[in-house]
Amino acid sequence: MAHILLIEDEADLQRILEFNLRQAGHEVSAALRGRQGIQLARERSPEFIILDLMLPDMAGTEVCKLLKRDAATEAIPILMLTAKGEEVDRILGFELGADDYLTKPFSVRELLLRIDAILRRARGEGALQLPIRFGKLCVEREAHRVFVGEKEVELTAIEFKLLVTLYERKNRVQSRTSLLDNVWGIDADITTRTVDTHVKRLREKMGQAGDYIETIRGVGYRFAELPKEDGS
Ligand code: CA
Protein backbone atom coordinates (compact mmCIF):
# COMPACT_ATOMS: atom_id res chain seq x y z
CA MET A 1 0.00 0.00 0.00
CA ALA A 2 1.49 3.30 -1.04
CA HIS A 3 0.61 6.70 -2.38
CA ILE A 4 1.65 6.52 -6.03
CA LEU A 5 1.99 9.40 -8.46
CA LEU A 6 1.25 8.47 -12.03
CA ILE A 7 2.60 10.78 -14.74
CA GLU A 8 1.19 9.56 -18.04
CA ASP A 9 -0.44 11.52 -20.86
CA GLU A 10 -2.31 8.66 -22.54
CA ALA A 11 -5.72 8.99 -20.94
CA ASP A 12 -6.78 5.38 -21.56
CA LEU A 13 -3.63 3.92 -20.10
CA GLN A 14 -3.83 6.30 -17.17
CA ARG A 15 -7.38 5.18 -16.42
CA ILE A 16 -6.47 1.51 -16.57
CA LEU A 17 -3.42 1.96 -14.39
CA GLU A 18 -5.24 4.14 -11.90
CA PHE A 19 -8.02 1.58 -11.59
CA ASN A 20 -5.64 -1.33 -11.09
CA LEU A 21 -3.41 0.50 -8.65
CA ARG A 22 -6.44 1.37 -6.54
CA GLN A 23 -7.66 -2.20 -6.74
CA ALA A 24 -4.29 -3.27 -5.37
CA GLY A 25 -4.83 -0.96 -2.41
CA HIS A 26 -2.69 1.98 -3.48
CA GLU A 27 -3.67 5.61 -3.34
CA VAL A 28 -3.17 7.37 -6.69
CA SER A 29 -2.45 10.93 -7.78
CA ALA A 30 -2.38 11.42 -11.52
CA ALA A 31 -0.80 13.98 -13.82
CA LEU A 32 -1.07 14.23 -17.62
CA ARG A 33 1.90 16.57 -18.02
CA GLY A 34 5.48 16.59 -16.81
CA ARG A 35 5.31 19.93 -15.04
CA GLN A 36 2.10 19.04 -13.31
CA GLY A 37 3.74 15.78 -12.24
CA ILE A 38 6.71 17.57 -10.69
CA GLN A 39 4.39 19.94 -8.88
CA LEU A 40 2.30 17.08 -7.48
CA ALA A 41 5.44 15.23 -6.42
CA ARG A 42 6.50 18.27 -4.38
CA GLU A 43 3.09 18.98 -2.91
CA ARG A 44 1.87 15.51 -2.10
CA SER A 45 5.09 13.61 -1.32
CA PRO A 46 4.10 10.33 -2.98
CA GLU A 47 6.02 7.20 -2.03
CA PHE A 48 6.41 6.08 -5.62
CA ILE A 49 6.30 7.60 -9.11
CA ILE A 50 5.36 5.95 -12.39
CA LEU A 51 6.70 8.17 -15.13
CA ASP A 52 6.04 7.95 -18.84
CA LEU A 53 9.02 8.74 -21.03
CA MET A 54 7.11 10.57 -23.77
CA LEU A 55 5.11 13.45 -22.38
CA PRO A 56 3.69 16.38 -24.34
CA ASP A 57 5.42 19.22 -22.52
CA MET A 58 8.78 17.73 -21.60
CA ALA A 59 10.68 14.45 -21.85
CA GLY A 60 10.24 11.95 -19.02
CA THR A 61 14.01 11.90 -18.64
CA GLU A 62 13.94 15.62 -17.92
CA VAL A 63 11.18 15.14 -15.34
CA CYS A 64 13.26 12.38 -13.76
CA LYS A 65 16.34 14.59 -13.65
CA LEU A 66 14.49 17.45 -11.99
CA LEU A 67 12.87 15.16 -9.41
CA LYS A 68 16.23 13.61 -8.55
CA ARG A 69 17.84 17.04 -8.19
CA ASP A 70 15.26 18.35 -5.76
CA ALA A 71 15.84 17.46 -2.10
CA ALA A 72 12.08 17.23 -1.58
CA THR A 73 11.64 14.50 -4.20
CA GLU A 74 15.05 12.88 -4.74
CA ALA A 75 14.33 9.85 -2.55
CA ILE A 76 11.09 8.86 -4.27
CA PRO A 77 11.58 5.72 -6.37
CA ILE A 78 10.74 6.15 -10.05
CA LEU A 79 9.63 3.50 -12.50
CA MET A 80 9.78 4.65 -16.10
CA LEU A 81 7.43 3.55 -18.83
CA THR A 82 9.06 3.41 -22.24
CA ALA A 83 7.86 2.39 -25.66
CA LYS A 84 9.60 -0.27 -27.75
CA GLY A 85 12.78 0.91 -29.42
CA GLU A 86 13.58 3.61 -26.89
CA GLU A 87 16.73 1.79 -25.85
CA VAL A 88 18.90 4.89 -25.61
CA ASP A 89 16.43 6.73 -23.46
CA ARG A 90 16.02 3.69 -21.30
CA ILE A 91 19.70 3.68 -20.43
CA LEU A 92 19.54 7.39 -19.90
CA GLY A 93 16.63 6.80 -17.54
CA PHE A 94 18.85 4.72 -15.30
CA GLU A 95 21.67 7.21 -15.48
CA LEU A 96 19.24 9.83 -14.32
CA GLY A 97 18.30 7.80 -11.29
CA ALA A 98 15.19 5.89 -12.34
CA ASP A 99 14.84 2.71 -10.28
CA ASP A 100 13.28 0.52 -12.90
CA TYR A 101 11.54 0.64 -16.27
CA LEU A 102 8.87 -1.25 -18.15
CA THR A 103 8.49 -1.36 -21.92
CA LYS A 104 4.99 -0.85 -23.33
CA PRO A 105 2.90 -2.90 -23.72
CA PHE A 106 3.33 -4.45 -20.29
CA SER A 107 1.05 -6.47 -18.05
CA VAL A 108 -0.47 -4.70 -15.09
CA ARG A 109 0.47 -7.66 -12.92
CA GLU A 110 4.12 -7.20 -13.85
CA LEU A 111 3.89 -3.52 -13.00
CA LEU A 112 2.36 -4.26 -9.59
CA LEU A 113 5.08 -6.82 -8.82
CA ARG A 114 7.82 -4.34 -9.74
CA ILE A 115 6.25 -1.64 -7.60
CA ASP A 116 6.07 -3.99 -4.61
CA ALA A 117 9.68 -5.06 -5.06
CA ILE A 118 10.95 -1.48 -5.29
CA LEU A 119 8.85 -0.33 -2.34
CA ARG A 120 10.11 -3.19 -0.19
CA ARG A 121 13.66 -2.22 -1.05
CA ALA A 122 13.00 1.49 -0.48
CA ARG A 123 11.37 0.83 2.87
CA GLY A 124 14.38 -1.19 3.91
CA GLU A 125 12.37 -4.34 4.33
CA GLY A 126 15.04 -6.24 2.46
CA ALA A 127 16.98 -6.47 5.72
CA LEU A 128 14.20 -8.51 7.27
CA GLN A 129 14.99 -11.27 4.84
CA LEU A 130 18.12 -12.29 6.72
CA PRO A 131 17.88 -15.78 8.20
CA ILE A 132 16.33 -16.00 11.65
CA ARG A 133 18.66 -17.68 14.13
CA PHE A 134 17.18 -18.47 17.49
CA GLY A 135 18.61 -21.27 19.63
CA LYS A 136 18.36 -24.46 17.60
CA LEU A 137 16.11 -22.82 15.07
CA CYS A 138 17.20 -21.37 11.75
CA VAL A 139 14.69 -19.97 9.27
CA GLU A 140 15.91 -19.06 5.80
CA ARG A 141 13.14 -16.71 4.79
CA GLU A 142 14.09 -16.19 1.16
CA ALA A 143 14.45 -19.90 0.52
CA HIS A 144 11.47 -20.79 2.74
CA ARG A 145 13.50 -23.42 4.57
CA VAL A 146 13.49 -24.22 8.27
CA PHE A 147 16.12 -26.09 10.23
CA VAL A 148 16.16 -27.31 13.81
CA GLY A 149 19.74 -28.12 14.64
CA GLU A 150 21.10 -29.84 11.55
CA LYS A 151 17.77 -31.22 10.52
CA GLU A 152 15.50 -29.61 7.93
CA VAL A 153 11.84 -29.37 8.88
CA GLU A 154 9.20 -29.47 6.17
CA LEU A 155 6.53 -26.86 6.81
CA THR A 156 3.45 -25.98 4.83
CA ALA A 157 3.15 -22.39 3.57
CA ILE A 158 0.73 -21.52 6.39
CA GLU A 159 2.92 -23.10 9.07
CA PHE A 160 5.89 -21.17 7.74
CA LYS A 161 3.98 -17.90 7.82
CA LEU A 162 2.70 -18.68 11.31
CA LEU A 163 6.23 -19.31 12.58
CA VAL A 164 7.63 -16.13 11.04
CA THR A 165 4.67 -14.05 12.24
CA LEU A 166 5.12 -15.31 15.80
CA TYR A 167 8.86 -14.71 15.67
CA GLU A 168 8.56 -11.18 14.31
CA ARG A 169 6.52 -10.18 17.35
CA LYS A 170 8.82 -12.04 19.69
CA ASN A 171 8.00 -11.83 23.40
CA ARG A 172 4.60 -10.32 22.69
CA VAL A 173 1.41 -12.29 23.12
CA GLN A 174 -0.62 -12.67 19.95
CA SER A 175 -4.27 -13.52 20.17
CA ARG A 176 -5.76 -16.20 17.99
CA THR A 177 -7.78 -13.53 16.21
CA SER A 178 -4.76 -11.42 15.36
CA LEU A 179 -2.91 -14.51 14.15
CA LEU A 180 -5.88 -15.35 11.96
CA ASP A 181 -5.76 -11.88 10.43
CA ASN A 182 -2.02 -11.82 9.96
CA VAL A 183 -1.44 -15.37 8.78
CA TRP A 184 -4.64 -16.46 7.09
CA GLY A 185 -5.96 -13.05 6.09
CA ILE A 186 -8.89 -11.20 7.51
CA ASP A 187 -11.41 -12.70 5.09
CA ALA A 188 -10.49 -16.29 5.74
CA ASP A 189 -13.53 -18.32 6.62
CA ILE A 190 -12.04 -20.31 9.47
CA THR A 191 -12.30 -20.33 13.22
CA THR A 192 -9.76 -19.57 15.91
CA ARG A 193 -9.65 -23.31 16.58
CA THR A 194 -7.73 -23.64 13.33
CA VAL A 195 -4.95 -21.56 14.87
CA ASP A 196 -4.62 -24.04 17.74
CA THR A 197 -4.50 -26.99 15.36
CA HIS A 198 -1.78 -25.37 13.28
CA VAL A 199 0.30 -24.29 16.25
CA LYS A 200 0.10 -27.81 17.62
CA ARG A 201 1.27 -29.31 14.34
CA LEU A 202 3.98 -26.68 13.95
CA ARG A 203 5.32 -27.42 17.43
CA GLU A 204 5.37 -31.13 16.73
CA LYS A 205 7.30 -30.61 13.52
CA MET A 206 9.77 -28.31 15.24
CA GLY A 207 10.61 -30.95 17.84
CA GLN A 208 13.02 -29.56 20.43
CA ALA A 209 12.45 -26.04 19.11
CA GLY A 210 8.69 -26.39 19.55
CA ASP A 211 8.99 -24.97 23.08
CA TYR A 212 9.94 -21.60 21.65
CA ILE A 213 6.26 -21.09 20.91
CA GLU A 214 4.56 -20.59 24.27
CA THR A 215 0.87 -20.91 25.03
CA ILE A 216 -0.59 -18.07 27.02
CA ARG A 217 -3.70 -19.61 28.45
CA GLY A 218 -6.92 -17.85 27.51
CA VAL A 219 -5.07 -15.30 25.39
CA GLY A 220 -3.04 -16.79 22.57
CA TYR A 221 0.56 -17.54 21.73
CA ARG A 222 3.94 -15.95 22.19
CA PHE A 223 7.37 -16.60 20.77
CA ALA A 224 9.84 -16.90 23.65
CA GLU A 225 12.16 -14.00 24.38
CA LEU A 226 15.18 -16.25 24.68
CA PRO A 227 15.75 -19.81 23.57
CA LYS A 228 15.36 -22.34 26.35
CA GLU A 229 18.06 -24.93 26.13
CA ASP A 230 17.80 -28.53 27.31
CA GLY A 231 18.62 -29.19 30.92
CA SER A 232 18.70 -25.55 31.93
CA1 CA B 1 3.22 9.19 -23.54
Angle 183-139-172 from CA coordinates, rounded to 5°: 50
For residue 129, is pLDDT > 80? no
How far is ligand 1, taken at its centre, from the CA of residue 7, in Å?
9
Query: 114 C-alpha to center of ligand 1: Å?
Result: 20
Using a cut of 0.75, tell me whether the model's pTM lies above it.
no
Q: How far is the CA of 54 from the centre of ligand 1 (A)?
A: 4
Residues 33-56 have pLDDT tens digits of: 999 999 999 999 999 999 998 999
Per-residue pLDDT at 232: 39
Task: Give the Å distance between the CA of 23 and the centre of ligand 1.
Answer: 23
- CA–centroid distance, 55 to ligand 1, in Å, is 5
Q: Taking residues 131-152, what's their average pLDDT?
A: 89
* pLDDT mean over 12-25: 95
**Once rounded to an integer, what is the mean pLDDT over residues 206-229?**
90
94: CA distance to ligand 1 center in Å? 18
Structure confidence at residue 198 (pLDDT): 95
Average pLDDT of span 22-41:
96
Q: 19: CA distance to ligand 1 center in Å?
A: 18
Calculate the dihedral angle through the C-alpha atoms of 157, 159, 160, 165, rounding to the nearest 10 degrees. 120
Per-residue model confidence (pLDDT) at position 159: 94
| CA 34 / ligand 1 centre spacing (Å) | 10
How do residues 153-211 score in pLDDT, each as one tens digit? 999 999 999 999 999 888 889 999 889 888 887 666 778 888 999 999 999 999 999 99
Ligand 1 geometric centre to CA of 11 (Å): 9
Sign (positive/negative) of CA torsion 111, 113, 116, 117? negative
> Residue 45: which residues within 8 A CB-CB, separation 6 or more?
3, 72, 73, 76
Distance 35 CA to ligand 1 centre (A): 14
Centre of ligand 1 to C-alpha 53, Å, is 6
51 CA → ligand 1 middle, Å: 9
User: Helical H runs in the chain?
Assistant: 11-23, 34-44, 60-69, 87-95, 108-122, 157-168, 176-179, 192-206
Least-confidence region, from 17-26, 128-137, 219-228: 128-137
* pLDDT tens column, 76-121: 999 999 886 666 555 565 667 788 888 888 899 899 999 998 888 8
Least confident of 95-104, 119-128, 148-157, 210-219: 119-128
Q: Which residue has the higher pLDDT, 131 or 174?
A: 174
Backbone angles phi, psi at 172, to 5 degrees: -125, 135
How far, in Å, from the CA of 80 to the mean position of ligand 1?
A: 11
Gap from CA of 10 to ligand 1 centroid (Å): 6
Residue 125: predicted pLDDT: 62
Q: What's the average model confidence in pLDDT over 59-72?
A: 90
Contact 89, 97 (CB under 8 A): no
